[in-house]
A and B are shown apart, each in its own frame.
Chain A
Amino acid sequence: MNIYLDNISFTYPDQTILEDVSLTLQSGEFVCLLGRNGSGKTTLMKIASGRLKPSAGSITVSERNSQQVDSDSLKRYFSILPQGIQDPPYLSAEAVLQLGTFDPSRQVPLRISPASLKSVNHAIEVCEIERFRNRSFNQLSGGEKQRVWIAFCLVQEKPFLLLDESLHALDFMAKEDFFMMLSKLAADGSGVILSTHDVALAKKYASRIVYLNDRKIAYDGPGGDDLEKAIEIGSPLLP
């Protein structure tokens, strides 16, 4: 499945955040989104997931046939982990996952349905969180929380995962672990988009790197010398 963001612009009355940005997202790809603070990464991700409406441009989803979609229906394609996400208070890891099976067209069932339980168990297996599934979420370590959040995305069974800088407070082992897990998910067919500041890990694990600079996409391709060049041009103050 492909999702095409075409000629997307986003402006506030006094400021342009994104200007004529075009980007294609594919399932099976692990895309890392680089860019300095304030370069528009979060805005771009919010537009992709339908949380913000672009000021101009269109978004097309092609499965078997292509169709243009509005912001409201985009959330069916993306599970998200927003920036600065807070621990859900009082919930166990598994309870968090169960919330991921929410179906807006129905009342929340008192007892989880067999189908939902199956997908919860599957996500628990994939993310290897069986041994702390019943622990209280806020007692988990940073790395464990991260795994639960990824499982939470998987439970939703949506084709794409959007993760916005969800790496803070992870030690270097946990970070590497996190990247490995995401590239595995992409290999299994999900489309994964991660915004990050870790260029080294992005080059090591991502199948594609998108570099945002000065409201535009300055680089889109595999990690390599061209990327280094683009980053240098984008940041003239670096030595």
Chain B
Amino acid sequence: MRRITYVLVISMMCLGLGILIGLLYGPASLSIGQLWEALMHSGEKSPEIIVWQLRMPRVAIALVVGASLATAGALLQISARNPLGDPQIFGVGGGATIAQAMALAGWITSETWSLTSISVVFSVIGVSIITYFSARRDITSARLALIGVSVAALSLAIATGIMASARIFTQQSLTFIGGSFTNRGWDELVSAIPFVLLGLGLTALIAGRLNLLSLGDEIAHNLGANPSKTRLLAMIAASILGGIAVSLSGLVGFVGLLVPHIARIAVGHDARSIILVSIPLGATLTLYADQVARLTFMPAEVPVGMVTTALGAPLMIYIARRVT
């Protein structure tokens, strides 16, 4: 218990520093004094607009996306008993990917609330397809992984096809596929919040029972648990969170895969600890990655998904060699 407190405090401190960097620096850097001024009065002066309308929502979106991806990854890794669990690899955000591509192509509405809802609904439908095909008597983890990977690949192919056929600008498609927080503001964030809360609430509901899945379904069943149901709920929660992440930022890779592994090294095996720690860790990682994406080639930006992957892949290789 004490260890988890340390980890939480440290990641919160990193998070605080990251938020500060996110608010202070950019094409027009502010001093601490200016930031304080701007935070105190939200008005029409330029630092105030920069802080309130540009940087703050962007920081907040990075936090929400990071936390959602990491939680979804943890849910998948634990419920599928598979270290490869990641919302992108398992295709749980696949539906949202297609929905976003359709919106970019102008096939469906791009109005914020509708698009967010459609993305989440599509994700849940995608995951229902995955679990439907995985469930012959029981939802086994190997089947779940294989079918998830197929659905992930298929939905990306469909999304790419939609964008290509609608002749969407390369820049826009690249931003989406690479993952980015540009052109997102308070509206998108606010429309995402209820779904994030829903996903996290569902996660909290099943977190304790997720531990039983590591015993294998037959034993879990004998203990009086319902492993298939727990796994199904975990998949739905992951699809809501993964879908939200896609609708806010496109395809941001590696956060969902990497963070739960770090969390496991930090706090051990309990599903609740892993998820609880994954939330701030995922938010921190994504926030810092976005600072790199924003600030390195200023005023140009690289997609944040490129940065998370560039940071995450070497770290994952290191962890894989150490742990497995």
Contacts and interface: CB of A to CB of B under 8 A. Distances in A.
A82 B219 CA distance: 7
Given A88-B215, A89-B81, A51 B222 contact: yes
Given A99-B211, A107-B208, A110-B272, A75 B222 contact: yes
Interface residues of A, number: 29
A52 B139 CA distance: 17
B109 to A, nearest CB: 41
A86 B214 CA distance: 9
Nearest to A91: B269
A76 B223 CA distance: 8
B194 interface: no
Contacts, number: 60
Q: Is the interface of B mostly helix, strand, loop or mixed?
A: helix
A205 interface: no
B272 A102 contact: no
B72 interface: no
A168 B212 CA distance: 24
A90 B224 contact: no
B37 interface: no
Interface residues of B, number: 21
A149 to B, nearest CB: 9
A156 B223 contact: yes
A196 interface: no
A80 B81 CA distance: 21
A136 to B, nearest CB: 9
Interface of B: 1, 81, 208-209, 211-212, 214-216, 218-219, 221-225, 264, 268-270, 272
Given A51-B222, A104-B225, A107-B208, A96 B215 contact: yes
Interface in A99-115: 99-100, 102-104, 107-111
Q: Which 5 A-B pairs have CB atoms at the shortest separation, nearest pair first? A: A108-B208, A104-B224, A88-B214, A82-B218, A90-B269
Interface of A: 49, 51, 75-76, 78-82, 85-86, 88-92, 95-96, 99-100, 102-104, 107-111, 156
Contacts of B1: 111
Given A104-B224, A108-B208, 14 more contacts: A49-B222, A75-B223, A79-B222, A80-B219, A80-B222, A85-B216, A85-B218, A89-B81, A99-B223, A102-B212, A102-B223, A104-B223, A104-B225, A107-B208
A102 B211 CA distance: 10
Contact of A75 (B224, B268, B269): B224
A102 B269 contact: no
Contact of A108 (B211, B222, B269): B211
Contacts of A85: 216, 218-219
Contacts of A108: 208-209, 211-212
